[in-house]
Structure 1
Amino acid sequence: MDMKLEVVVLPVSDVDAAKLFYEQAGFRLDIDYVAGDAFRVVQFTPPGSGCSVTLGKGITSAAPGSAQGLHLVVTDIEAARSELVGRGVEVGEVFHDAGGVFHHAGGKGQVPGPAPDRASYGSFAEFSDPDGNGWILQEITERLPGR
């Protein structure tokens, strides 16, 4: 049976500020539904993604900014970073991990620049929304078998 990740809920403190941020980042607005003062659902889909993000009011008890490690896969890390920066999003510099497998939390083991030989899965850049929900661009040019 297939199981596809469809939606990730992002906890935010200011729905309008978050909506503006994700519009600015180039995410497609799918819905902005309001039902009274206590309930609002705003859904965005990143360009080319099959999974959307939902934010709003009255939809999660998680602390604003507590979603971390949300990966956006791109085929060209430098072009993706440049596009976001051009849209006014603050994106950290491209880095790779000293161990070469994945990235450590909190910046530990980060080496400036893309992975040696631009190895697929090895280059990253980070940015956050206004509440601190953490996003990571990851460059994948060739998928592992079976993916």
Structure 2
Amino acid sequence: MKLEVVVLPVSDVDRARDFYVQRLGWRLDADFPIQDGYRIVQVTPPGSACSVIFGEGLTEQTAGTLHGLQLTVTDIVAAQEELTSRGVRVAGPFRDATGAFRHAGAAHRVPGLHPERSSYGTFAAFADPDGNEWFLQEITERAPGR
């Protein structure tokens, strides 16, 4: 099994499509207005095998309630600079006080890159217009078997 699609709750489909495609530069795979109240938009981050779907009639989740979505990058500083140049407000880079992963919220964030810049240790965060929260995690060398 592999993860293929994540359904994202949004309040304004066109605004979300513009954010993900025009602002972030993600590939627009589909925009199907099936019928009144049922529309499917699919976008894919560059280099990802997993897509994101949003639209109308796809989820009962409240818009903006999906937190913890994660994108991996090999250079978090470059990724943050690219997002910022596209007009996206990015928090970070930071690491978690425990060094294990990251806590929910910002209470345990330590500003700055991981001291050794080790894989899995540095994060940044941004949100879409509805408040769905995304994280970047820097991975330069994967753990064995991953």
- Band of TM-score, shorter chain: over 0.9
Secondary structure, aligned partner of 1:83: helix
Residue aligned with 2:105, SS: helix
Counterpart amino acid of residue 49 in structure 2: G
Q: Does the residue aligned with 2:136 lie in a helix, a strand or coil?
A: strand
Scaled by the length of structure 1, the TM-score of the pair is 0.96
CA deviations 1:81-102 (Å, max 9, x no partner) are 1001111111112101111111
Percent sequence identity over aligned pairs:
61
Secondary structure class of the residue paired with 1:56: strand
Q: Given the two structures, how large is their TM-score scaled by the length of structure 2?
A: 0.97
> What is residue 4 of structure 2 aligned with on the other side?
6
Residues in 2 aligned to 1:84 and 1:37: alpha-carbon distance in whole angstroms: 34
Q: Secondary structure at the match of 2:141?
A: coil
Is residue 41 from structure 1 mapped to residue 45 from structure 2 by the alignment?
Answer: no
Counterpart position of 2:80 = 81
Match for residue 103 of structure 2? 104
Q: Which residue of 2 aligns with 1:51?
A: 50
What amino acid sits opposite 1:44 in the alignment?
Answer: V
Number of equivalenced pairs: 145
Matched, 1:21 2:25: no
Give how far 1:43 is off: 0.4
Q: Distance in 2 between matches of 1:99 and 1:59?
A: 37
Structure 1 residue 73: Cα displacement: 0.2
Which of the two has greater strand per residue? 2
Structure 1 residues 87-146: Cα deviation after superposition (integer angstroms, max 9, x where no partner): 111111210111111111111211111111101001000000011111000000111110
Partners in 2 of 1:101 and 1:119 — Cα distance?
Answer: 12
Structure 1, gaps ≥5 residues long: none
1:8-36 CA-to-partner distances (Å, cap 9, x unmatched) read 00000000110111011111100000022
RMSD: 0.7
**What is the alpha-carbon distance in structure 1 between the residues aligned to residue 60 and residue 39 of structure 2?**
14
- 1:117 is aligned to 116
Structure 2 residue runs of 5 or longer lacking an equivalent are: none
